[in-house]
């Protein structure tokens, strides 16, 4: 291929900014496919791991995202030695959106991989939570190049990162408040260990495993940082760690992580079927309508916003869609995660925690390293069932703003309008009187007609109406 054709091919390449920090390689997209370049600094580790069959073993175990080597590399970035093609993930999620158990399972996945690598003279060079994603079947490691040859008799190079990305946030969520998982937005390079120790209840800091891997770890790190800040020469004595010793550390971390459990204090939405204003026939009619629309549209990707306990997410998944099930209550998201990932139910639902009035923004370098919710779309179908009255009255978002936002997220939307006379709306308004944003059927239709065409609807016996909306091409 000539230079001009190569430049044209590279110009159509879509660089994925989340991988720019790694000198060993780069992830990029082209024509809807996902590729990984292996640069010169990563060649030795890649060839060594491939040569002893480690990649194949981890892929066959479901621990590592599969890849295949691509012979044609003319579209790859300059400096590419090997080009790998990966299956495209249905949705990329981030730790601040995960349930407690999803973060815990991601931690245990790292430890499972380490136990397989160390006996062969390898380890994980990175222990980043961002290296784990859901591939539609299970959690798996997506960073092929994080696997490297171990430095003989050296401590785990990613030990501090593992503690900052997994042990610290899990401990703070379980023994403090699960909402502290939202601090990931501020600390995308990992939680400061000293901050976490100060925020933990005193007696928790001295639990045997946490004391060793968190409290003492933070203390030693702070001491080294203070000496460095004062300009003192820091003599680092690197302890020798044998393979059995490193396996012992990994198993110690596993015991600590396994022993951290979050006791959910909020169960209000888990009992949603007992407090909602639906009669049984309304629930059935609504469920049947959702199922009908899913069969009609056959969406590949569905976003269920305000999913509660995921009942409509499950209906969409049963119809063949991959569903991103978004809810603001961590207890609800934990409930759905346990139901989907730890039972035999549909494996095509990814439950995430998110305040829809403050959805995930772009973060990291240039706000492009981690993508906003909108940038990870659009969905083929968006479910907004029993949601918009909460956005209007609890979050102060006008109907037109909601309609405009929805149009940026999806091709089709199933939106439920709950009338002002509904008991749930009246409850939200009981302390507001007439001091609220405009909200009635005419306002709803006028707002959504700006961005969507009304294709279908069903009115339930309780007066609520579910509308099927198709985004206007010029919206």
Rg (CA), the chain: 25
Q: Is the pTM of this model over 0.85?
A: yes
28 - beta bridge partners?
15, 35
- Which residue blocks in 118-242 are alpha helix, DSSP H? 159-162, 168-175, 193-199, 202-205, 208-210, 216-229
pLDDT in the model for residue 74: 81
pLDDT in the model for residue 1: 46
- 90, 242, 253: which is closest to 170 by C-alpha? 253
Residue 167 and residue 434: Cα distance in Å, rounded?
Answer: 48
Task: Give the DSSP letter of residue 406.
Answer: H
Q: Which two tokens stand for residue 79?
A: 């400096």
Instruction: Look at the chain and count its residues.
Output: 475
pLDDT in the model for residue 59: 98
pLDDT in the model for residue 42: 97
Residue 95 and residue 310: Cα distance in Å, rounded?
Answer: 20
Please provide residue 184's backbone torsions phi and psi, each rounded to the nearest 5 degrees: -55, -30
pLDDT in the model for residue 17: 74
Task: Give the DSSP letter of residue 276.
Answer: S
- 316, 377, 374, 375: which is closest to 349 by C-alpha? 316
Q: Which residue has the tokens 């010169």?
A: 40
pLDDT in the model for residue 459: 96
pLDDT in the model for residue 276: 54
pLDDT in the model for residue 229: 56
Domains contained in the chain, CATH given: 2-86 (no CATH), 95-225+239-259 (no CATH), 266-471 (3.40.50.150)
Q: Which residue has the tokens 């030693």?
A: 220
Residue segments in the chain with a per-residue pLDDT below the cut of 50: 1-11, 268-269, 274-275
pLDDT in the model for residue 453: 97
pLDDT in the model for residue 235: 59
- Which residue blocks in 15-86 are alpha helix, DSSP H? 40-51, 54-60
Pairing of strands 301-305, 379-384: parallel
């Amino acid at each position: 291929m000539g230079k001009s054709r190569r430049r044209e091919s590279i110009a159509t390449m879509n660089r994925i900014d989340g991988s720019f920090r790694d000198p060993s390689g780069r992830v990029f997209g082209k024509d809807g496919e996902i590729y990984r370049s292996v640069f010169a600094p990563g060649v030795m580790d890649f060839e060594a791991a491939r040569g002893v069959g480690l990649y194949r073993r981890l892929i066959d175990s479901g621990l590592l995202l599969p890849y295949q080597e691509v012979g044609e590399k003319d579209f790859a970035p300059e400096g590419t030695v090997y080009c790998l093609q990966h299956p495209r993930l249905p949705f990329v999620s981030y730790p601040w959106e995960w349930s407690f158990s999803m973060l815990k399972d991601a931690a245990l996945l790292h430890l499972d991989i380490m136990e397989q690598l160390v006996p062969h003279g390898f380890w994980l060079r990175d222990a980043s939570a961002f290296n784990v994603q859901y591939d539609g079947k299970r959690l798996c490691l997506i960073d092929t190049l994080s696997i490297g040859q171990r430095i003989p008799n050296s401590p785990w190079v990613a030990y501090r990162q593992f503690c900052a990305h997994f042990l610290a946030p899990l401990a703070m969520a379980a023994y403090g408040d699960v909402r502290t998982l939202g601090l990931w937005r501020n600390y995308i390079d990992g939680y400061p260990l000293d901050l976490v120790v100060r925020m933990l209840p005193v007696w928790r800091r001295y639990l045997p495993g946490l004391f060793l891997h968190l409290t003492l770890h933070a203390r030693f790190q702070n001491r080294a940082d203070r000496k460095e800040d004062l300009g003192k020469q820091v003599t680092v004595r690197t302890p020798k760690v044998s393979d059995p010793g490193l396996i012992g550390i990994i198993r110690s971390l596993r015991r600590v992580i396994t022993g951290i459990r979050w006791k959910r204090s909020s169960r209000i939405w888990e009992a949603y079927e007992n407090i909602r204003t639906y009669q049984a026939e309304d629930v059935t009619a609504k469920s049947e309508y959702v199922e009908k629309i899913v069969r009609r549209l056959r969406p590949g990707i569905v976003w269920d916003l305000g999913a509660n306990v995921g009942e409509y997410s499950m209906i969409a998944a049963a119809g063949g869609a991959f569903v991103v099930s978004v809810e603001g209550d961590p207890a609800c998201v934990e409930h759905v995660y346990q139901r989907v990932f730890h039972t035999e139910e549909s494996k095509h639902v990814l439950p995430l925690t998110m305040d829809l009035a403050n959805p995930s923004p772009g973060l990291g370098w240039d706000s492009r390293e981690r993508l906003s919710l909108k940038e990870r779309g659009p969905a083929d179908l968006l479910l907004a069932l029993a949601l918009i009255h909460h956005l209007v009255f609890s979050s102060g978002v006008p109907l037109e703003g909601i309609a405009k936002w929805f149009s940026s997220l999806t091709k089709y939307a199933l939106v439920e309008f709950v009338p002002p006379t509904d008991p749930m709306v009246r409850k939200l308004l009981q302390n507001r009187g007439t001091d609220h944003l405009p909200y009635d059927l005419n306002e709803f239709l006028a707002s959504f007609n700006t961005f969507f065409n009304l294709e279908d609807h069903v009115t339930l016996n309780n007066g609520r109406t579910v509308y099927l909306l198709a985004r206007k091409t010029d919206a």
